[in-house]
Amino acid sequence: ASLHPGLLSPAGQVHDFPRKLVLPNFPLHFPPGRDTVSQVLPEQNTPPRKVPPPPPGVVKKVRIHHLHQMKAAGRPIAMITAYDAVMAGIADEGSADVILVGDSVGTTVHGFDTTLPVTLEMMIMHTQAVVRGSRRSLIVTDLPFMSYQVSEQQAIENAGRLMKEGGSSAVKLETSNDRTLPFIRAIVDSGIPVMGHIGLVPQSINQLGGYRVQGRDQADAGRLIELAHKVQEAGAFAIVLELIPSELAARITSELTIPTIGIGAGPETDGQVLVVNDVLGLTENAPRFSRKYVDLRAGVLRAVRKYTRDVREGHFPAEEHEFH
């Protein structure tokens, strides 16, 4: 059954969207000179979304059903990554609805070139830290590479460890094809909430041939729409859409009853997620779809340079830092 009959506009009107995908009617035809999804998908003739104010009284703890309510009300979901207690506390205080303990910790914290070397033990440790630092936000943790792809039994056991040992409220796993769909269903059937992830799936980076926008041609766009529906049918409570054309993300969002969280997928998804290092300006070459809200790297660099200069010139420690 649908979670709601349709999306609510700010005026309270219900907009019904198709619930089933019929690929033969998929309106992707490529006239001469128009060879991208953004040129082919029908225009979304909808006015700019007006964001309703937050509901009276902030919930003490964000739960999965709150995300469904936000989709129904048209109120965007704000998700951000965190990997330690300090940053989790800041994200929590900053009103993040969801904190993602992402396997991006491999590249942002541990210095790996990709997320592939990240282990389940690393994800458990970082999840424990995030849980200790947060109070309100919903905590979702990535299942790392090869921690769920072998079998349903492996997927259930490792998702369970993230919940039982890490303290997470839900897990997220990447889906590039139908093979992982039974794993989603098995994890959900065991009582563990699952967030899906399609589009650019970093754990399949070698198979995809690099960090490229997905779903730009007719075949791939149709594949992603169908895959999104299958992820929903497998029991996922939400789905991340990464690095796909805005028009395609808007269509998937309109057809699904579960919330969509975009990253490099345009403004029409039900929510957004960014890597905290990109938000804080700690990434030297941040992706184009991110936004730097403060240049923390430059500020930290100035502070460290001043500290090392003070030490070398004898200005630190000063008298007020001494004990007698």
Q: Tokens 């700019």 map to which residue? A: 48
- The rounded distance, in Å, linking the Cα atoms of 153 and 162 is 15
DSSP 173-240: ---SSGGGHHHHHHHHHTT--EEEEEES-GGGHHHHTSS-----SHHHHHHHHHHHHHHHHTT-SEEE
Q: Tokens 């259930």 map to which residue? A: 156
Q: How many Å separate Cα 135 from the centre of its chain?
A: 19
3 state DSSP class of 126: helix
Strand boundaries in 34-85, DSSP class E: 77-81
**How many residues appear in the chain?**
324
Closest CA to 23 of 266, 203, 218, 272: 218
- The rounded distance, in Å, linking the Cα atoms of 112 and 119 is 12
Looking at the chain, the number of H-run helices and the number of E-run strands are 12, 10
Q: Active site residue: 174, 242, 247, 268, which one?
A: 242
Residue 242 falls in the annotated catalytic set: yes
Closest CA to 293 of 131, 55, 90: 90
- The rounded distance, in Å, linking the Cα atoms of 12 and 10 is 5
Kindly report whether the peptide bond that precedes residue 193 is cis, defined as omega within 30 degrees of 0.
Answer: no
8-state DSSP, 143 = P
Catalytically active residues, by annotation: 242
